Amino acid sequence: MGKPPLVSIVTPFLNAERFFADTLASVLAQTYTRWELLLVDDGSTDQSTGMAVEWARAHAERVRYLEHDGHRNRGTSASRNLGIRHAEGEFVAFLDADDVWLPEHLADGVSLLERHPDSGLSYGPTEEWYGWTGRPVDRSRDHILGLGVTTETPFAPPGPLTAFLRREIPTPCTCSVLVRRTLADEIGGFEPSFRGMYDDQAFYAKVCLTAPVVASSVCTSRYRRHGSSLYSSAKTTGQAGADRLAYLHWLDRYLAGRGDRPREVRRALRQELRAARFPLIQRLIARVRGRPTA
């Protein structure tokens, strides 16, 4: 492969055989070539384990297969942390096993962080991708999520965290994120207590409180919308509200343990905790603000 990888791609997967090949193909199609791919098995019982092992064998110079002890299922946070611990690159990118990248994704992300060397994390707009089915009715639903922030301008801590908390702007899709490995280590990676929902938001909260972040105006990632995703399952089962409340309680404890607790973040957190404890009030506030409720 020549030069060592500059970007380590962490892809956790659990029973991902349905979409796995598309994800790998989008990595192989990257115009930026200094990457390694870490496939982290979170206890799969379908064919995706064999697929990952075979890909690692076929691309041994840049693809590695990892799993938890005893082939256990430990959740997305622990799986991403396992990938980060084995990462050799200066930057870490995240790509779930049902999402895909456009060919310029890594090139754009690396360029953005190199132009802003003080920034610890970059992210960009993501397409909500329904049209993967090939059906015209689904393709008509495809749309790019606007960021609601100034692009190409780093945000000093706490950055956009307050707006994330108030859900005034969308939190980044993990498939759009590139983070410096040193920062991921400094903040302790992802929180293992979050096994699925809000694992990303806890990570972003720690990042925003620690280092500048910068956003791109270019959409280079696709978030596949389908009924078996974690988000869809949480919405269907009604678990989304409980998951959000657990995240807010975690953030309250996390802020209490820090020496610096930005006033605007604490104020927003108190308001969101009150709303989350009373779902009817939460819905009324969301309606007034014109924002989503989960």
172-210 core/surface letters (b: 16 or more CB in 10 A; e: else)? bbbbbbbbbbebbeebebbbbebbbbbbbbbbbbbbbbb
Give the domain extent around 156.
7-226
pTM above 0.85, yes or no: yes
pLDDT digits (tens, 9 = 90+) for 82-116: 999 999 999 999 999 999 999 999 999 999 999 99
pLDDT digits (tens, 9 = 90+) for 254-289: 999 998 889 999 999 999 999 888 767 666 666 776
Give the HSE-up count for residue 79: Cα atoms under 13 Å, Cβ half-sphere: 31
**N- to C-terminal Cα separation, the chain:** 44
Answer whether residue 284 is part of any domain. no
Answer whether residue 153 is part of any domain. yes
Answer whether residue 136 is part of any domain. yes
In 3D space, the residue among 27, 30, 69, 22 whose CA is nearest the CA of residue 48 turns out to be 22
> Domain with 209 in it: what CATH number?
3.90.550.10
Answer whether residue 116 is part of any domain. yes
Rounded Cα distance between 265 and 248, Å, is: 11
64-97 core/surface letters (b: 16 or more CB in 10 A; e: else)? bbbbbeeeebbbbbbbbbbbbeebebbbbbbbbb
Question: How many domains does the chain divide into?
Answer: 1
pLDDT digits (tens, 9 = 90+) for 186-237: 999 999 999 989 999 999 999 999 999 999 999 999 999 987 655 545 455 5
Rounded Cα distance between 141 and 97, Å, is: 22
Answer whether residue 121 is part of any domain. yes
Answer whether residue 105 is part of any domain. yes
Answer whether residue 110 is part of any domain. yes
Average pLDDT, the chain: 92
Answer whether residue 257 is part of any domain. no
